[in-house]
Amino acid sequence: MEIIIQPTPEAASIIAARHVARLVRDKPNAVLGLATGSTPLVMYRELVRMHKEQGLDFSQVTTFNLDEYVGLPTEHPASYHAFMWDNFFSHINVQRERVHIPDGLASHIPAFCRKYEEAIGAAGGIDLQVLGIGGDGHIGFNEPSSSLASRTRIKTLTAETRRDNAQAFGSPDKVPFHVITMGVGTIMDARQVIILAFGSKKAEAIAAAVEGPITAMVPASILQMHPVAQCIIDEAAATKLKRIEYYRWVYDRKPDWQKV
């Protein structure tokens, strides 16, 4: 795993956006795996800027989102459908039929999850998956103890995750208990993974994911086994890393052809 430490969340997000943009330019029909929440917002804003000012073309891109709450209609303001269209899709030239987000109102959730996996495969697999990380080390909504080989499925949220996501709902009591999420195995199938983390509250999780043992109790730790994974973080999220100076050394001395 490549560790990229930047002074601020904004600087880190711009690097992440450049990785996405490079892929889209090199492969116009790229398949992107996308995340929601506050962490990728600046990255999405930078990609929107690149689209409007530099002509970054998303017209052939296909997207698959990580997750969605069970029971929320797409128009609910706290749904991830609403989040993605409000913050990204409506500002670029992505084709609506190429956008895939789990259906929280699916009448038969196991069948829907199988079809979601099939759709990813039919699209050729995910080229680049964007991730955040929970304070307990979860990725997507794969809570601690999730199978490291899991596929898209329904999951029950922990009390901690429901508290963390309460702002969009007004109170923790209004946060749904269940979600549809890509599995850890689904995420690991992506050809490239970028995980973003900002702030001191994510420092313990990042240290465990990057330098700790690979364990289902820290689902993000499986990314140590991914062949092309970048962990792009700010200074605050890096404070618990033991080899922080080594990571800086490596990044500062990358050859030009590796830089974005």
Catalytic machinery residues: 67, 136, 138, 143
The DSSP code sequence of 161-222 is: HHHHTGGGTSSGGGS-SEEEE--HHHHHTSSEEEEEE-SGGGHHHHHHHHHS--BTTBGGGG
Q: For residues 233 and 202, what is the distance between their CA atoms, to the nearest angstrom?
A: 9
In three-state secondary structure terms, 155 is: strand
Structure-block tokens of residue 247 = 């990571």
Which amino acid belongs to residue 75? Answer: E
Q: For residues 260 and 258, what is the distance between their CA atoms, to the nearest angstrom?
A: 7
The DSSP code sequence of 68-121 is: EETT--TTSTTSHHHHHHHHTGGGS---GGGEE---TT-SSHHHHHHHHHHHHH
Question: Pseudo-torsion of CA 194, 198, 202, 207, nearest 10°?
Answer: 60
Question: In the block, which residue shows the tokens 């330019």?
Answer: 25
Q: Is the dihedral of CA 194, 199, 202, 207 positive or negative?
A: positive
Structure-block tokens of residue 193 = 């993974």
Question: In the block, which residue shows the tokens 């609910």?
Answer: 76
